[in-house]
Chains A and B, each alone.
Chain A
Amino acid sequence: MAEAPSLALRCTELHRYLGEGDGRVHVLKGVSFEARRGQVYAIVGPSGCGKSTLLYLLGLLDQPDGGSIEINGHTMSNSDDLARTAARGAHIGFVFQFHFLMLEFTALENVMMPMRKLAKLAPADMEARAHQLLESVGLGEKTHRLGTQLSGGEQQRVAVARALANEPSIILADEPTGNLDVKNSGMVFDLLTRLAKDHGQAVILVTHNPEIAQRCDVIRPMRDGLFV
């Protein structure tokens, strides 16, 4: 019997409130979730149901008001900012809807950015890996173009390459194809899933696109702050 892929992420009974005073909203109402390496998860649901809030909590960009988050077996929900920042750099890659490339930098520099912070590789190795990642997303010819000189689809592919730069165990993608046309959506999704599978990474993506969601290994629909 084949061994189950190892657990990359687990959250238990997550609660999150947003806003203050009368406008305070209970966005997540005790969400539990697990993600294993090599699997692609889709979190779907209507706007405002808490998908993105959950994703930011899982990515340690935000802190929960209750519950726990484990990344590769380490409880991170109560850790300080430095530990969460270090965990983000080492274990998590992000792809955002609006790609968030740093436009003053070339594609190559954008991909090298997380590697330079982690500083695990020599500069020449970082550059070689960034070249290899950009090749794998089909941008080998455009490594020295600035973010402003790339199309939306190309920028999102650079963002995918950047998310993979430090070989994280978890890729979190918030509507990664939400801003792209059909052709580019399919290309970016294929890239994400192929590279994640190849490298045994857990991919968790939030999407409104049912076609994209159908192609994932696991679909988790959400409504009113809970998985349904």
Chain B
Amino acid sequence: MSPNFHIAYRFLTAKKRAMLMSLSCTVLGVGLFILTQATTSGFEEFFIKTILGTDGAIRIEDKFQDTLRVMSASAGTDFEVSQRDGVKYIEGVEEPKALIKELKNFSNVIAAAPVLRGSVQIRSSFKNETAQIFGIEIDEQLRVSDLGKQVIGGSGALARFRENEAGAIVGRVLADRLQLEVGNSIQVVIGSELTRLRVTTIFETGVQDIDKVRLYVHMSQARSILKKPTGVSFVQVSVFDRDRAPQTAAHIQWVLHHHAVAWQVREKTWLETFYALKLSSAITVSIFTLIAGLAMFNTLAMIVLEKTKDIAILRSMGYERSDITRIFLWQAVIVLLVGAVVGCLVGAGTTYAVSHLPLHLTGIFKTDTFQVYWSPWHYLAAVTTAAIMVMIASLFPARRAARFEPGDIVRGTAQ
């Protein structure tokens, strides 16, 4: 043990009450920082998992307009969509099978599934609701989404859908509004056309906007209802590395000439909201670490005042100014290290406890407990914040102690 550390330790432990005050503020600062980051990130992570499990990591839609094809495509149809940057698209994916085949060449792509989408009216025995019909190939859809986990009733419910060509998987909220149960029949109305389907399964993502409007049907049924014998509205893609989805989307767009949108762009509004929440809670909780810094400043300033004679005797024995600075900085380091370790343990403990608290939420996701996210970065950020605050606060008393002239202290004129 270095003499400076030894002296620092004794000085600090001699002022137990002040030391415990600084220590508790540091523990509180670190612990609360970890807890708030774990919970805000937990909800964000849960939201991301929900939307990835529902709408996939990348959605490919609308082919870039090719000059030669524009003429043929626009001859009898209105498929052209003007873009604000001047680029034109042909709505939807005309050749999904070829596109999906090409997608297999992208290293980050796990699977891709075609989806045909359209707006319809759903009529039950009780009322009508506007809905979005999603025509899917069920096996392919299960590879790009968590539909298998979202259906109520598990694999049996999915089997019922597979077996029934007129089957429909209806969103939980939509089913409640139409007072539908599994086995009931519904009428899908588009224009004057009417198609009868049977509710084979009900699904729930927890995302209100999806559960209240969406129903999945077999692709062939969707083609018949929407009068779209070829092509699909979009291709849903799942990826290995979700963080690389924007790069993968850009690559797909460049190679396959289709507009590709990654989940980060698609859900930008919500992601920015979560980021703002995370940042604001980090700033709020940093006030606790600021208090920890102030407490440390107070403790050290007090010790400096009480130890002026000891500083003089140390200086008379050959201890340099830098030794005196180190002695006081070591005290801050001791409090910081103990505070960081205990703070991390407290943070982990409270995060664990909070993760078991019941909390029923639906809206942008569905959960029955507090969502937490365990990340070593939260612990690192908490300790770094505390370290910056405590060490800056300690620097002033430490430097003041080092500036004392031993002669002035012995003579009793030190300021």
Determine if A59 and B310 form an interchain contact, defined as CB atoms under 8 angstroms apart.
no
Query: Cβ of A105: which chain B residues have Cβ within 8 Å of it?
Result: 10
Residue of A nearest to B317 (CB): A114
User: Does A61 make an interface contact (CB < 8 A)?
Assistant: yes
Contact partners of B406 in chain A: CB under 8 A: 61-62
A100 to B411, CA, bound (A): 13
Closest 6 CB pairs of A and B: A89-B318, A62-B407, A61-B407, A116-B3, A114-B317, A104-B10
Smallest beta-carbon distance A65→chain B, Å: 13
Instruction: Knowing A85-B320, A89-B318, A117-B318 are in contact, say whether A102-B407 is a contact too (CB < 8 A).
Output: no
- Return 17 A-B CB contacts under 8 Å, by A number: A52-B411, A61-B316, A61-B407, A62-B411, A81-B320, A81-B321, A82-B320, A85-B321, A89-B317, A90-B318, A94-B316, A94-B317, A102-B310, A113-B317, A114-B318, A116-B6, A117-B318
Contact of B313 among A18, A62, A102, A166 (CB under 8 A): A102
A118 within 8 A of B: yes
Q: Bound state CA distance, A71 and B215, in angstroms?
A: 96
Complexed CA–CA distance, A85 and B410 (Å): 16
Cα separation A104 to B314 with both chains bound (whole Å): 14
Task: Identify 17 new A-B residue pairs, CB closer than 8 A, beyond the known A85-B315, A98-B309.
Answer: A53-B411, A56-B411, A61-B406, A61-B407, A85-B318, A85-B319, A86-B318, A88-B316, A94-B313, A100-B309, A100-B312, A100-B313, A102-B10, A104-B10, A104-B11, A114-B317, A166-B318
Binding site for A on B (CB under 8 A): 3, 6-7, 10-11, 13-14, 309-310, 312-321, 323, 405-408, 410-411, 413
Closest-CB distance, B414 to chain A (whole angstroms): 12
CB-nearest residue of chain B to A123: B1
Q: Give the distance in Å from the alpha carbon of A117 to the alpha carbon of B315 in the complex.
A: 10
In the complex, whether A154 has a CB less than 8 A from a CB of chain B is: no
The answer to whether B11 and A117 touch across the interface, beta carbons within 8 angstroms, is: no
Of all chain A residues, the one with the shortest Cβ separation from B12 is A104
Q: Within the assembled complex, what's the spacing in Å between the Cα atoms of A162 and B318? A: 12
Nearest A residue to B322 via CB reads A82
A contacts, CB < 8 Å to B: 18, 52-53, 56-57, 59, 61-62, 81-82, 85-86, 88-90, 92, 94, 96, 98, 100-102, 104-105, 113-114, 116-118, 162, 166, 174
Highest count of chain B CB atoms <10 Å: which of A88, A98, A118: A88
Identify A61's interface contact among B6, B14, B315, CB under 8 A. Answer: B315
Give the distance in Å from the alpha carbon of A105 to the alpha carbon of B313 in the complex: 13
Residue of chain A at shortest CB distance from B408: A62
Our pick among A98, A117, A174 for the contact of B3 (Cβ within 8 Å) is A117
Which one of A101, A118, A174 lies within 8 Å of B318 (CB-CB)? A118
Q: Are A117 and B319 in contact (CB under 8 A)?
A: yes
Which of B14, B317, B407 gathers most chain A CB within 10 Å?
Answer: B317
Nearest chain A CB to B15's CB is how many angstroms away?
10
Question: Bound state CA distance, A118 and B312, in angstroms?
Answer: 17
> CA–CA, A117 to B13, complex, Å?
21
Shortest B266–chain A CB gap in Å is 63
Residues of B within 8 A of A56 (CB): 407, 410-411
A105 to B411, CA, bound (A): 24
B10 touches A96 (CB 8 A): no
